[in-house]
Amino acid sequence: MLASTPFTVALRELLDERFRVHPDDCARFAVGGAAPKLVLSPRTLDEGAQALKIVAGEHATVVIRGAGTKSHRPPPHGEFDAVLDTSEMRGILDHKPGDLTATVAAGTPLHELQFALRRHGQFFPSDAPFAATATLGGTLAANANGALRQRYGALRDNVLGMRLALSDGLIAFSGAKVVKSVAGYDTHKAFVGSRGTLGLIGEVTLKVAPLPATQRVLLAAFTDCASATAAAGSIAASALFPMATTMHDSRAATRVSALRGAGAPQWTLLVRCGGSRAASSEQFDGAFAISKEAGASSLRDIPAELVETLWTDVAELSGGAAYDPEQFVVARLVSPPAQLHDCVAAARAAWPDAEITAHPYAGVLYANVPVASAASQPGAFWQACATGGWAAEFLSAPHHRAEEFIAPLPSGLPLKLQRRFKAALDPSGTLDPGGFVGGI
């Protein structure tokens, strides 16, 4: 059916050389280890909408792909026919520095966005992993939050509006292009974390932030996790308002170039401080005092000129480029922040060889587990998740073993509502059927 002449002619007329059918060309756009039969690379949202409509009319299925950095994420994709590649949909379409807003094409790499904003003394407040390659749309679709959410909020909090294409070719806009708006439903925020199963994110209007005038990072070393989490909790509960706080066990810390050399402590707490010189110093001094009182074995300052390099490495510890997806399985656990120590203990009991990174403010833990160690998933661990009300999912696993790493769903998920929402936006089931939680 996919080889039918009217179908391929329509796509060729629409996309020209950006419509690929040769197996060697399609192999470069593999998702979940499987190569598509067709690759569609629109340059605009209008082209993307038309391409989706043509493919849906053929009763074919499509997976939307940015840079492919999340293509190891379970569950494994079922059979699909085409990949819609967003890498040609790039560029900053509008930037209003005075309003702290920017409208950006979804296929724009994050590093290009940050470079352009930096020239105006601004940045998009996200330290999501895969920053060197990931696209804006892919990062939003994966809901790949980083530790900067402590000050700036989660990704969806910084998305003001979206232009979207649905599988029937309809182009819709949700939200606004200004920071202060109360009109309409925030439907676009449902697309953050949707994994490309609801529609094509084409253009995104973002809330951006001024670059801090100065930054520094406190490095506090602890001999045990309980003391580190206690210090992080006290910092979060204080009025200090740092930019971000992260925790790393000794194995994970060795992957940060600025932390190598002196021997990694059992636990490292990093507190990123920023703002005016006075505000940054106040945050640093306050976090220093709290960490010292909590029993830090050593405390030191990472100076301003090293902060960006340090944090580039730190961001990749959250299941990012620091870990080869064929060698590591990445689990993300979310607990109430006050239970983070218990969550760490449960993960460590399940996977003794895991490299653990945590964002204590949000109660998020990343367990990066060597494949051989990840083979066993003790039932006691899943029971601890159920008892504590923790959410767990696998962000990455080797393609050939992805079926083994699908976390049990917590009770109470509104799956019926989610299925109805999916059916309303994608009634033909064109967009990655089964690719969302619960096989939606």
Question: What is the pTM (predicted TM-score) of this model?
Answer: 0.95
Neighbours of 33 (CB within 10 A): 14
Is the residue at 413 inside a domain? no
Q: Are residues 197 and 106 part of one domain?
A: yes
Q: Is the domain of 203 the same as that of 224?
A: no
Cα distance between residue 221 and residue 265, in whole Å: 6
Q: What angle separates helix 225-237 from helix 277-293, to the nearest 10 degrees?
A: 140
Is 99 found in the same domain as 168?
yes
Read off the pLDDT band of 181 (50, 70, 90).
low
Q: What is the mean pLDDT of residues 151-162?
A: 97
Number of domains in the chain: 4
In a domain, 419, yes or no: no
Question: Cα(328)–Cα(318) distance, rounded to whole angstroms?
Answer: 12
| 114: containing domain | 92-210
Q: CB neighbours (10 Å) of residue 430?
A: 25
pLDDT digits (tens, 9 = 90+) for 366-400: 999 999 888 766 677 888 888 888 999 999 999 98
pLDDT band at 151 (very low <50, low <70, confident <90, very high): very high
141, 118: one domain: yes
What DSSP character marks residue 31?
B
Q: Which comes out higher in pLDDT, residue 34 or 183?
A: 34
Q: Is residue 124 part of a domain?
A: yes
In a domain, 26, yes or no: yes
Query: Are residues 130 and 137 in contact, defined by beta-carbon separation less than 8 angstroms?
Result: no
Domain end: 88, 112, 135, which one?
Answer: 88
Whether 203 and 140 have beta carbons less than 8 Å apart is answered as no
Same domain, 98 and 198: yes
Assigned domain for 16 exists: yes
Model pLDDT for residues 67-84, shown as the tens digit of each residue: 999 999 988 877 899 999
Asked if residues 370 and 355 have their Cβ atoms less than 8 Å apart, the reply is no
- Clarify whether residues 112 and 191 are in a common domain: yes
Please compute, for residue 113, the number of CA atoms within 13 A of its CA located in the half-sphere on the CB side: 34
Task: Let me know if residue 186 belongs to a domain.
Answer: yes
Select from 140, 389, 356 the least CA-distant residue to 266: 356
